[in-house]
Amino acid sequence: MKVVAGKADWGSEAAATERVSRTPALVDDRSGNTRWAWQRAYARWLFWTDGLIVLAAVVLAHVVRFGESDLLAVGTVSESNYVVVSACLVVAWTATLAMFRTRSRRVIGSGYDEYQRVVSGTLWMFGAVAIVALVVKLDLARGYLAIALPVGLLALLLSRWLWRRVVTHRRRRGAYQTSVLVVGGERAVRLMTRTFQRGVSDGYRVVGVCVPRYAGAVGQHMEVDGNRVAIYGDEGSVVPALAASGADTVVVTATETLGHEGIRDLVWELEPYAADLVVATGVVDVSGPRMEMRPVAGLPLIHLEKPSYHGAKRSGKRIFDLVFSGLALLVLAPLFALVALAIKIDSKGPVFYRSERIGLDGKPFGMIKFRSMVTDADKQVDTLIARNEGAGLLFKMRDDPRVTRVGRTIRRFSIDELPQFVNVLRREMSVVGPRPPLRREVENYDGVIRRRLLVRPGVTGLWQVSGRSDLSWGESVRLDLAYVDNWSMVSDVLIIAKTIKAVVGSDGAY
C-alpha cells in the first residue's frame, strides 16, 4: 500500500474542526436530521408517480371495460358499484407498494431489487383481490382486472426505469452519492475501494478508510488506481473518522481484525448516529437469490445455495429459448433478406459464415453468422496477430482490414450475430449465456474457466452488455462465470433488455 503524508495535521483540534465544518456534520439519528435529503425527495416523487400510474391504469380499465358513460354510473357487482371497487383497488395497490417497501432508500435506484419488489407487490395484491372475490362471491369482471394489472405493472416498471436513469445520470456527474468509510485489512480495503470506484453508477464514493496498524495515521493517504483516499486511523477510530470524513455509511470488510465482539461494539457505537453499517461477506459474484441468512447458535450465518444447471429451471429456460428465437427469426426475416442482398452485392462469397465454437460440455458446433469479412479472412490471422488489440486469447482489431464495407455496418449494430437464433433452435446455443469460445481458447482454459462450458453459450450475455470488445480478458471471464453460477429467467430478461440498448448505442462494438 502506498501511503503519502498529507499536508494538514488532522490530529489537531483546529484541523478537525475545519474538516467538520466543510462536510455534513455527524448528527444524532434520534433528532431525525439525517443527510439523505435527496433520497427522501426521490421517494416522494416515486410516491406521486406511482399513485398517478395506478390511478390511470384503474381508470383506463374501467373506461375500456364499461365505457365512459358508465364511469360514474351505479352498476351492480354483488350490490356494489365499480366506482367504489376502482377506488378501493387504487388505495389497495398504492398501500401494497408501500408495504413491500418499493420506495425504501435501500433499493431505490438499485435496479433488480426495486423491480422485483414492484412486481411481487403488484402480483400479491391482485392475487389477494382474486381470493377475496372468490371468498365473498364477488362477480368481478375478468376483463377489468386483465386490463388494469398488465397496464399498471408495465407502466410502474417503465416509470422506475426512467427514474433510475435520472439517478444514474446524476451520479455520474457527482450527485446522489453515498459517502463510504471502509474499515478492514489493507488488501481488502484496497479491493473494496477499487470496486466502488469502478461502479460509478452505483453511487458509492469512498471518502476515507480505517486500516489496522494505522493508529494515529490521520493525515496520510493510500493510493488506489491513481486516486488518493484519506486514512483516518485504525479500526478503533471509526466514530471520529465519520465526523472527519463526512461519511454516512461504514463498510466493514475482512472482519477478522474486529471479531464478533468488535462488530457488535461498533453497531452499538453507531446506533445514535445517522450512519449505516454494512458488512461485506467476502463472497464475490454470488447473486442474492442464492444467499440466505440463517441464525445458528446466535450467529448470523449466510448459507449459499448451489448453482442450478439441471431440472425444471433449465427446462423453463429451454422453452423460453425456443419461443423467443422462433419469434425473433419470424420478425427479423425481412431484415435478413436485405442484409443477404447487401452482402452479395458488396463482395464475392457466401452470405453466411460458419465459425467453429465450443458449446455445452465441450462439444463443438458451427456458429452461424452473416459474413462480415472477406472469404479468406481466417488465413490472414497469422499475418495480423502482431496488431491484435483483443484481450487474453481473443483476437480483435478496431480497424481490421479483412472487414467489408457492409460488414462494418452490420458488426457495429451486431446484425451479423442474428443468425445465431438458428443455433438456438438447434439446441446448440441459448438466447442468453456465456460468450461462445473458440477451440484454441478452450484448449488453454484452466480448471476454473472450464465452468463456462456447464451451460450453453449465448447469443447475448453479461459480456455483451458490459463493454463487449472493450472488456479485458479477466473481466470477460469473470462475467461469464458469474452468469453460469447465478443465472435466472429474470436476469435473462434484464440482459436482453440491456442488450437492445447496448446494440442501439454501438457500445464497445468493432
Closest CA to 483 of 509, 508, 455: 455
CATH topology for the 3-26+177-282 domain:
Rossmann fold (3.40.50)
The three-state secondary structure class of 292 is strand
CB 369 within 8 A of CB 396: no
- What number of residues does the chain have? 510
Helices (H), 173-249: 186-198, 238-245
Separation CA 136–CA 129 (nearest Å): 11
- Which residues sit opposite 357 in a β-bridge? 365
- Which residues sit opposite 222 in a β-bridge? 3, 229
| Tens digit of pLDDT at every position of the chain (510 positions) | 444 444 334 333 343 334 333 333 444 433 333 456 778 888 889 999 999 999 999 888 888 876 654 444 444 444 346 677 788 889 999 999 999 988 887 777 776 778 888 998 999 988 888 887 777 776 666 677 788 888 999 999 999 988 888 888 888 887 888 888 988 888 888 888 888 887 777 788 888 888 887 765 566 888 887 788 888 888 888 888 888 888 888 888 876 777 777 888 888 888 887 788 888 776 555 655 666 667 766 666 776 666 665 656 678 888 999 999 999 999 999 999 999 999 999 888 899 989 889 998 889 999 999 998 888 766 666 666 656 555 555 556 667 778 888 888 888 888 999 999 999 999 999 999 888 888 888 887 777 778 888 889 999 988 777 765 566 667 777 788 778 777 778 778 888 888 887 777 655 454
What is the β-pairing status of strands 299-304 and 178-183? unpaired
- Per-residue pLDDT at 510: 47
Separation CA 66–CA 407 (nearest Å): 54
Backbone torsion region of residue 306, taken as left when φ is above 0, otherwise alpha when ψ lies between -120 and 50, otherwise beta:
beta
* Residue 290 CA to its chain's centroid (Å): 16
SS (H, E, C) 18-84: HHHHCCCCCCEHHHCCCCCHHHHHHHHHHHHHHHHHHHHHHHHHHHHHHCHHHCCCCCCCCCCCHHH
Backbone torsion region of residue 3, taken as left when φ is above 0, otherwise alpha when ψ lies between -120 and 50, otherwise beta:
beta
What is the β-pairing status of strands 204-210 and 178-183? parallel
Separation CA 55–CA 466 (nearest Å): 37
What separation in angstroms does the CA of 175 have from each of 20, 36, 412?
A: 20, 12, 33
- Per-residue pLDDT at 47: 92
What separation in angstroms does the CA of 79 have from each of 75, 99, 134, 190?
A: 8, 30, 15, 67
- Under DSSP, the state recorded for 467 is T
Show me where the domains of the chain are located. 3-26+177-282, 37-172, 312-505
- Per-residue pLDDT at 374: 82
- Per-residue pLDDT at 407: 87
Separation CA 5–CA 27 (nearest Å): 29
- Per-residue pLDDT at 53: 95
Task: Give the cell for residue 153.
Answer: 405493472
- Per-residue pLDDT at 34: 45
- Which residues sit opposite 279 in a β-bridge? 252
Torsion of CA 304, 305, 309, 310, to 10 degrees: 170
Separation CA 280–CA 269 (nearest Å): 19
- DSSP of 312-374, one letter per residue? HHHHHHHHHHHHHHHHHHHHHHHHHHHHHHHHHHHSSS-SEEEEEEE-GGG-EEEEEEE--B-
Separation CA 421–CA 278 (nearest Å): 43
- Under DSSP, the state recorded for 286 is -
What separation in angstroms does the CA of 157 have from each of 88, 160, 200, 221, 288?
A: 22, 5, 23, 43, 20
Closest CA to 208 of 184, 225, 176: 184
Looking at residue 320, its amino acid is F
- Per-residue pLDDT at 148: 87
Separation CA 422–CA 48 (nearest Å): 46
- Per-residue pLDDT at 505: 64
- Per-residue pLDDT at 284: 57
* H or E, element range at 233: none
Tracing cell 442474428 back to the chain, one arrives at 418
* H or E, element range at 208: strand 204-210
